[in-house]
Amino acid sequence: MQLSEEIFQLTQQHFGRAPDQCDDRQLYQALLILARQRAGERPAPTGERKLYYFSAEFLLGKLLSNQLLALGLYQPVKDYLAGMGRDLGVLESMEPEPSLGNGGLGRLAACFLDSIAALGLPGDGVGLNYHFGLFRQVFSRCKQTEEPDPWLQPDGWLIPTRRAFPVSLGNTQVTAVMYDIAIPGAGSGCANRLHLFDLADPAHAPWVGIDFDKGDIAHNLTSFLYPDDSDRAGRLLRVYQQYFLVSAGAQLILAELEERGFAPDTLADHVVIQINDTHPSMVIPELVRLLMDRGLTFDRAADQVTAACAYTNHTILAEALETWPMSYIQTAAPQLVPILRRLDQRAKAAHPDPRVAILDGEDRVHMAHLDIHYGFSVNGVAQLHTDILKHTELKPFCDIYPQKFSNKTNGVTFRRWLETCDQPLVSLIDDCIGPDWRRDAQKLEGLLQFQHDPAVLSRLLEVKQQNKDRLCRLLWSEQGLDLDPSSVFDVQIKRFHEYKRQQMNALAVIHQYLEIKAGRLPQRPVTVLFGGKAAPAYVMAKHIIHLILCLQKLIEQDPQVRPWLRVAMVENYNVTWAEALIPACDLSEQISLASKEASGTGNMKFMANGAVTLGTMDGANVEIAGLVGEENIYTFGASSDQVIALYRDRSYDPRACYHRPQVERLVDFLVSPELLAIGDPASLSTLWHDMKSKDWFMALLDVEDYIRTKAEALRDYECRTAWAEKMLVNIARSGYFSSDRTIRQYNEDIWHLN
Ligand code: 475
């Protein structure tokens, strides 16, 4: 059937009218149903082994455009709509963004599902269906507040299935039901699934408010992603969630294994489980338990599970390395306790070194240690991060199991992060090198032949301008921000965390502000854009957001500064905002303290869209620098070796850095009369004290070099042709960071799917 006929039938059937008589919502709904049906008809990829990607988060973003793209319908649908004077972007703006993720780890999982399907590999995602997701960020009096984000729509992307599994949570018996989102693969003709488990019983329907009773498991198990874990009840709730996810997921794996005609003791021949950070680590003892129920001995079960499980580490931050008191597991999943004790004893018998123990002297379970002993693969997410894991953080493990460790540098799907989010740039690329880069992103290197082509370079600058204009329109209509599209767009978008050092960027803003106040004007106005959420219980991150919102307000009120410098913080930053911000960015801020950012993936997206990086030699920035060469990136700051030595020797002295005259006046501005008149004195002075005396992530160590390097970048920006060359080299060299490449490597080295 013709596409137009199919859409006609759908709108007739559902709304009793022809497409051109439908309103935007109806037309959107018809296209959703079309995509859902087409994806549902696609066969699953086949292979001897099947991958299950277990993750607490899948940060999908809006689905319509990317589903149509994978189905080969994107351009036909756009053309069809254009023929009626309608626009796919307008229709898609109706779609609420699924709120199933938080940051890089969740977005990586979404990029991976896209690439796994595109490569035709058999692999499904396994996660939870959080009804209110993370939270919706609302600014009120220059502070972040949190509201539930009810993103689920009737008749949306979720496909109900007949799968249901019993799960015992302490002394409560619940049923996990499974919903699916189809994941069609671009160019593969296949579709995988993202399985999202939820509570079955409507009497147990999730709770609606945000101040819920955390003890009421039945009502809030799948309410929120990362419920506040600053107290015991919140932490217990996380353990309940984790166990619910892995128990249902493990039962799914064994059910499918049986349906494929394989015996439980051949698990590892037919199944590989990728454990995305430690949140799903309890899948290990749960599978051991279920295999023992099916007749395997403990040792045989443990061996099968070890040969099936692979672990990805995403962070070396101590506070993110999960350890659960055994007493929590005794409460939430008592059936796992004897298994965990046996797994611990078996590991201790072979490796008595207390540094590698699963259970420590306080009876806490170290989830990463469990993954490393009882998995066959451990990977970091960028070369530097993997090296730090091997030589520092996980060295005792690497000495025992050197063969388990490998690097898999992250990647991003160019289908979402170039093809659908930056159409002006895509047209330019197509005109230069044709369409082949879609199948093989390394082909973007073909752009290098245009590095000195004035026509291409000036078109590149026009494309960037178009994207900046588009962003300005959007920020105006959605958030009432009116920005200057002819200014330089300097963008830092990511979760708020002290190690990512948004506070250092804020100090640079203060520097620019004081310069303008002193009559030293920049060559061109600058707009510093921020976006990101702070975890509700992360007090210091919230102080940093407050500082930025106060600076924004201060500058808005100042007619002397406002024409030259603006600060704009996007409210409720999410994937959808990223898709508008990244194509519009000139300068990409990747300024984490070296050694702390495992990889970063935003850095890759910016690069592919022609932004130039201002960054530390951290995470994947190191690899970006290697690919583009030093003249096409701005790096600064202490090296990871220096930082690691400062921590090891406890020799970082924030007070000494603070007392440098240029630094002191920037830091003291936090408690200046101007700022105190706008903000909350308690919040600003807490941040001020912390910066002077603790500065755990060493913002004051790097701030001067940072300000100097940013000034250099802004100077270079004025030579427009030379800047356009830098943009072009960044785009041309970004192909390495396609998640198709990353997934090929996972498959070749870890999964061996087909
Ligand atoms: C890294 N999230 C990025 C990205 O590999 C990296 C942890 C605990 C609880 C909740 N969320 C988390 C993360 O650790 C996370 O998102 N890590 C990020 O993973 C993908 O690119 O450098 O910070």
* CATH number of the CATH domain containing 205: 3.40.50.2000
Ligand 1 atom, smallest distance to 107 CA? 20
Q: Is 166 helix (H, G, I), strand (E, B) or coil?
A: strand
Pick the closest to residue 701 from 557, 445, 482, 499 (CA basis).
499
The reply to whether 36 and 179 lie within a common domain is no
The reply to whether 563 and 659 lie within a common domain is yes
Q: Are 211 and 236 in contact (CB under 8 A)?
A: no
* Backbone φ and ψ of 441, nearest 5°: -65, -20
Beta bridge partners of 325: 364
The reply to whether 236 and 182 lie within a common domain is yes
The reply to whether 597 and 683 lie within a common domain is yes
Domain assignment present for 371: no
- How far is residue 195's CA from residue 63's CA, in Å, rounded to a whole number? 16
Alpha helices in 161-227 (DSSP H): 217-220
Q: Is 624 helix (H, G, I), strand (E, B) or coil?
A: helix
Residue whose Cα lies nearest atom 21 of ligand 1: it is 600
- Residue keyed to tokens 């037919």: 270
Tokens found for residue 485: 């599209």
The reply to whether 89 and 149 lie within a common domain is no
pLDDT of residue 332: 95
- The 3-class SS string of 415-482 reads HHHHHCCCHHHHHHHHHHHCCHHHCCHHHHHHHHHHCCCHHHHHHHHHHHHHHHHHHHHHHHHHHCCC
Distance 540 CA to ligand 1 centre (A): 18
AA letter at 500: K
The reply to whether 56 and 66 lie within a common domain is no
AA letter at 267: L
Tokens found for residue 14: 């559902």
The reply to whether 553 and 631 lie within a common domain is yes
Domain residue limits at 615: 481-741
Q: For residue 650, give the H/E element and its range.
A: none
Cα 177 vs. chain centroid, distance in angstroms? 26
Pick the closest to residue 567 from 522, 519, 607, 508 (CA basis).
508
Q: Please tell me the total count of domains within the chain.
A: 3
Pocket test for ligand 1, best of 55, 100, 102, 105 (most atoms within 8 A of CB): 105
Tokens found for residue 80: 């069809």
Domain assignment present for 336: no
The reply to whether 136 and 262 lie within a common domain is yes
- Residue keyed to tokens 């592919």: 608
Side-chain half-sphere of 683: how many Cα atoms within 13 Å?
23
The reply to whether 55 and 85 lie within a common domain is no
- Residue keyed to tokens 């919102």: 549
Domain assignment present for 529: yes
ipTM of model = 0.98
- How far is residue 33's CA from residue 14's CA, in Å, rounded to a whole number? 10
Q: pLDDT averaged over consecutive 10-residue blocks of the chain (754 residues)?
A: 95 98 98 97 96 98 98 98 96 95 96 98 97 95 95 95 96 94 98 96 67 73 85 91 98 98 98 98 98 98 98 91 96 97 98 98 98 98 98 97 98 98 98 98 98 98 98 98 98 98 98 98 98 96 98 98 98 98 99 98 98 98 98 98 97 97 96 98 98 98 98 98 98 98 98 94
Pocket around ligand 1: residues whose beta carbon is below 6 Å from it?
102-105, 108, 226, 277, 314-315, 320, 381, 410, 597-601, 619
* Radius of gyration for the chain, computed over Cα atoms and rounded to the nearest angstrom: 26
Pocket test for ligand 1, best of 315, 595, 623 (most atoms within 8 A of CB): 315
pLDDT of residue 218: 73
Domain assignment present for 751: no
The reply to whether 693 and 651 lie within a common domain is yes
E strands within 313-399? Answer: 323-325, 364-366, 377-380
Distance 295 CA to ligand 1 centre (A): 38
Pick the closest to residue 727 from 486, 435, 488 (CA basis).
488
Q: Are 422 and 415 in contact (CB under 8 A)?
A: no
Distance 500 CA to ligand 1 centre (A): 12
Distance 314 CA to ligand 1 centre (A): 5
Distance 141 CA to ligand 1 centre (A): 29
Q: List the catalytic residues.
A: 314, 494-495, 500, 601, 605
Domain assignment present for 340: no
Domain assignment present for 432: no
The reply to whether 32 and 135 lie within a common domain is no
Distance 445 CA to ligand 1 centre (A): 29
- How far is residue 501's CA from residue 507's CA, in Å, rounded to a whole number? 10
Domain assignment present for 513: yes
Domain assignment present for 348: no
Q: Are 372 and 378 in contact (CB under 8 A)?
A: yes
587-590 and 143-147 strand pairing:
unpaired
> Residue 477: exposed, middle, or buried by beta-carbon count in 10 A (0-12, 13-18, 19+)?
exposed
573: left (phi over 0), alpha (psi -120 to 50) or beta: beta
- How far is residue 381's CA from residue 599's CA, in Å, rounded to a whole number? 6
Furthest-apart CA atoms within the chain: distance in Å: 80
Instruction: Please provide the DSSP assignment of 482-529 as one string.
Output: ---TTSEEEEEES---GGGTHHHHHHHHHHHHHHHHTT---SS-EEEE
pLDDT of residue 207: 67
Pocket test for ligand 1, best of 135, 314, 388, 407 (most atoms within 8 A of CB): 314
Q: For residue 352, give the H/E element and its range.
A: none
For the chain, report the end-to-end CA distance as a whole number of angstroms. Answer: 33
pLDDT of residue 229: 81
AA letter at 85: G
The reply to whether 230 and 271 lie within a common domain is yes
